[in-house]
Amino acid sequence: MKRWSRLQNELRALFVPALHMDIQCGVHRTDSARGETDLPRCWVCLGRQTIWSYPQDFPDSAQDYPCLTDMSTISELLRLYIDTPRWQLLHRVFADDRWGLTDIMKVADRRLGLRRLEGMRDELSAPALKVLAARAALGSNSATSRQGTKNARRPSPARRERLGPPVRRMRGAQA
């Protein structure tokens, strides 16, 4: 199995950069009457808000410490998501995803268009809908700001016609 940091960097490269979304994995030490136990935890943050957390959001999964084996399943699921071609992502059913994690990844994936993701709105979980709303807000803001800078840099077609082709002048030649 590859290191978590490598998997994490590959996932971060797929996210829309302006979304400020991150996925983390860590270990929490738990003290009990029987001794100390290191329990893994995986969570997804949108900005500074944690929108998905395992095992906190899934208390049924955490009985008798199955989260020790679920973490490897989550890592394998994320690896499978990364390796899936873009054209298969929207229609692929990830059978091992019992947590709705791939829906969050799909909505944050920069390879997928916002219009197609809007059509999936009824099938998405609550955390995925939060990411979709944040991405839709980015899409409308970035489109207007990009349009304004594009027009500021280039002259309009009518102005280009008036200016004519660029003229190169030679030294010593009089105009």
pLDDT at 122: 85
- Cβ pair 42, 24 in contact under 8 A: yes
The number of angstroms, rounded, from the C-alpha of 146 to the middle of its chain's C-alpha atoms is 21
- Cβ pair 74, 100 in contact under 8 A: no
Summarised one tens digit per residue, pLDDT across range 47-88 is 899 999 887 777 665 555 555 668 888 889 999 999 999 999
Summarised one tens digit per residue, pLDDT across range 1-45 is 467 788 889 999 999 988 999 999 887 777 777 777 777 888 999
Rounded to an integer, the average pLDDT of 152-172 is 56
DSSP secondary structure letters along 21-54: EEEEEEEEEEEETTEEEEEEEEEEEETTEEEEEE
Cα first-last separation, the chain: 73
Summarised one tens digit per residue, pLDDT across range 87-117 is 998 888 898 888 889 999 999 999 988 888 8
Could you tell me the CA-to-CA distances from 44 to 12, 102, 126 in Å, in that order?
A: 11, 12, 13
- Domains of the chain: which residue ranges? 4-135
- Report the C-alpha gap between 92 and 149 in whole angstroms: 38
